[in-house]
Structure 1
Amino acid sequence: MSWKWEYAFGAEEAARSAPAAFLAQVERKADELVRAAEALHLHGRDHEGFDPKGGDVIVPGGMFRYQVVVRSQRVYVVQITCLAF
């Protein structure tokens, strides 16, 4: 398995009605977070201990909240906030 990102919880539902330009910005930043997590956690499947604290990322048109789960090699986008609604 390799590192990926995906929407989690209600963010997936919210993404269905968000503008495409906003979602493109979210996806671009999520890809960057995946690359950073992959570089930082080379042995993700063997990780022991706590996962790193997630955070908020501001993108044009809104923001999103993410969480990194190292053992699953995933970056989850758990909330999106689009100001264009």
Structure 2
Amino acid sequence: MTWSWEYLPSEEYVIGEAPPAFVAEVEKKADELVRAAEALYLDGTSYRGENPRSRTAHVSGGMFEFLTIVRHEQIYIVQVTYF
């Protein structure tokens, strides 16, 4: 398995009508978070600890909340706030 990210429950629900430039910033930061998680949890599928708590990532024009589910090797973006 390999690390990835996705919107939860769906892109339409989480992003809504945010401008494309802001969405690009969110997705760029999500890619960075995936690379960091890959380095921190080398084999997430065998991880037996607790998942990290939800966290906030700040990007130009806003922020977003995300969950890291280590055993799934997945980062879920659950809420986006555009200023």
Identify whether the pair has TM-score above 0.5, normalized to the shorter chain. yes
SS state at 2:67 partner: strand
1:21 counterpart = 2:27: no
Match of 1:48? 48
Q: What are structure 2's unaligned runs of at least 5 residues?
A: none
TM-score of the aligned structures, taking structure 1 as reference length = 0.89
Output the amino acid matched with 1:73: E
1:66 counterpart = 2:66: yes
Output the amino acid matched with 1:54: S
Within 5 Å, give how 1:68-83 maps onto structure 2.
68-83=68-83
SS state at 2:51 partner: coil
Q: Cα RMSD over matched residues?
A: 1.4
- The aligned length equals 83
Residue-by-residue CA offset, 1:57-79 (whole Å, 9 max, x unaligned): 11111110011000000011010
SS state at 1:9 partner: coil
2:10, 2:80 → 1: CA distance?
9
Q: Percent identity?
A: 48
* CA contact 2:26–2:64 (8 Å) conserved in 1: yes
SS state at 1:71 partner: helix
SS state at 2:13 partner: helix
Match of 1:35? 35
Residue-by-residue CA offset, 1:29-64 (whole Å, 9 max, x unaligned): 000000000100001000112101231111111110
TM-score of the aligned structures, taking structure 2 as reference length = 0.91
* CA contact 1:18–1:82 (8 Å) conserved in 2: yes
